[in-house]
Structure 1
Amino acid sequence: MQIIDALADISAAYDALFVDLWGCVHDGVRVYPGANEALAAYRAAGGRVILVTNSPRPRAGVADQLKDFGVAPDAYDDIATSGDSARLAMYRGIVGQKVWHIGYRGEGDGGFFTPPAILDDPLAITTVPLDEAEGIVCTGPFDPQADPSALRPEFLAAKTKGLKLLCANPDIVVDRGGVREWCAGALAQLYTEMGGESLYFGKPHPPIYDLARRRLAAIDPNVGERILAIGDGPATDAAGAMGEDLDLLFISGGLGARETGTPPLGSPDPAKLDAYVAETGIVPTYVIGSLR
């Protein structure tokens, strides 16, 4: 594990980057200082950048959101989202045709309930009350500040009916502008703990990495196999990189900023970082305070 000062210190050894968004490129409100410049410089030198995110939105919705956050178009080549992977599975009927939806539904869902164009014969999905549902689709909590346990009564009823829960975002928490929020992964975790079956499509699970590789190959069929994963989540980014046998640049100033003693735009405290790595079991190849 090597603490570095800048992406450019090690990026020449890699043909492509799989880059997490929340906690690495932006904080849910605005882009982090230095992130645009670091990624754009890597691309200018010939590297490819795929943003790999556990956002439940399809990639077009994420791209629109990135504009609002100030992420530059020249900072990346394409996007692979957990929402895209989950949406494909939903429209193939993995949890049935009538679904109880947990999360926001409307303009802000980024088009999750729009059938994917690549499917020739998508299932007609309808959202219904829980007592009519054949399955559950969770894109996020109804209230990101509310404790997930508030859904225990509904989950008990769903488990009794044998409903499967499709989780469109395996993240447990994120920090939006410094305020911690619950994500869909926290609800899926609770449902599993209660004896229900949860299906995941984002990091650290293989489907999103398969999608990222397909997006990478579509951009450059001759791209090399040296891929560096960049992320801040131990249970998602780090576990996914380890499972895919990818080198990992761990962003210590994201979810683990307090535990690793990483100040804003600074570097981690080596002793605290060692303790954090030992506690979480992650195996970073490199560590940096923030993407720069």
Structure 2
Amino acid sequence: MPLPLISGLSVIAGNYDALLCDVWGVLHNGREAYPGVADALGKFRAKGGHVLLLSNAPRPSGTLPAMFERMGIPHDVYDGILTSGDATKTYLAGLARGARCYYIGPERDAVLFEDTGVKRGGEADAQFILATGP
């Protein structure tokens, strides 16, 4: 059954009290927010709705509000952000202190290891692999 095409969030917003929304390609194009995004989210929240933004960014969510602000998505139009980086950091923090990880990814994402007790190791001595990018 095909999903109905709607002209905007306002068409269905009154039926819901929460919105879990991906960001890339839904709210912005990587450079700027799509037209009307901030207004639609703001109106949804003004009527009591809760907005949680979801991102597959491999960084903790605290790094994203400033970027969203620059794109035209102000912090007051959403309640929170959850990233794959948040989930990863939580998982790493639950491992035994000293667990060794073979990390494949850019250094900017290595913040995931901070305060977790997980050590980065080489391919031969690692217990698991974490890949966040090339």
Out of 102, 105, 108, the position equivalent to 1:103 is: 105
- Deviation digits for residues 144-192 of structure 1, max 9, x if unmatched? xxxxxxxxxxxxxxxxxxxxxxxxxxxxxxxxxxxxxxxxxxxxxxxxx
Equivalent positions of 1:141-180 (< 5 A) are: 142=134
Distance 1:28 1:132 in 2: 37
Partner of 1:137: 130
Residues 110 and 79 (structure 1), Cα distance of their counterparts in 2 relative to 1, 3 Å cut: farther
Shift of 1:110: 8.0
Runs of 4+ in 1 over 3 A off after TM superposition: none
User: Is contact 1:102–1:136 with CA below 8 Å preserved after alignment?
Assistant: yes
Question: Is the partner of 1:2 in helix, strand or coil?
Answer: coil
What is the one-letter code of the residue matched to 1:79?
I
Question: Is the partner of 1:18 in helix, strand or coil?
Answer: strand
Unaligned runs of 5+ in 1: 116-121, 143-292
Question: Is the partner of 2:20 in helix, strand or coil?
Answer: strand
Partner of 2:61: 59
What is the one-letter code of the residue matched to 1:136?
I
- Deviation digits for residues 219-249 of structure 1, max 9, x if unmatched? xxxxxxxxxxxxxxxxxxxxxxxxxxxxxxx
Partner of 1:45: 47
Unaligned runs of 5+ in 2: none
- Deviation digits for residues 2-23 of structure 1, max 9, x if unmatched? 2111110110000110010111
Shift of 1:67: 2.4
- Deviation digits for residues 2-50 of structure 1, max 9, x if unmatched? 2111110110000110010111011222211111111111111111101
**Number of corresponding residues:** 131
Partner of 2:93: 91
Shift of 1:114: 2.1
What is the one-letter code of the residue matched to 1:43?
R
- Deviation digits for residues 98-117 of structure 1, max 9, x if unmatched? 111111113xx2832223xx
What is the one-letter code of the residue matched to 1:138?
A
Distance 1:59 1:110 in 2: 14
Partner of 1:258: none
Higher relative contact order (CA 8 A, sep 6+): 1
User: Is contact 1:36–1:72 with CA below 8 Å preserved after alignment?
Assistant: yes
Structure 1 vs Structure 2 CA RMSD: 1.9
- Deviation digits for residues 91-142 of structure 1, max 9, x if unmatched? 2228x71111111113xx2832223xxxxxx4x21212212211111112x2
Partner of 1:114: 114
Partner of 1:155: none
Residues 110 and 47 (structure 1), Cα distance of their counterparts in 2 relative to 1, 3 Å cut: farther
Question: Is the partner of 2:111 in helix, strand or coil?
Answer: coil
> Given the alignment of the two structures, is residue 81 of structure 1 paired with residue 60 of structure 2, yes or no?
no
Partner of 1:8: 10
Partner of 2:73: 71
Question: Is the partner of 1:37 in helix, strand or coil?
Answer: helix
What is the one-letter code of the residue matched to 1:91?
A
TM-score by length of 1: 0.42
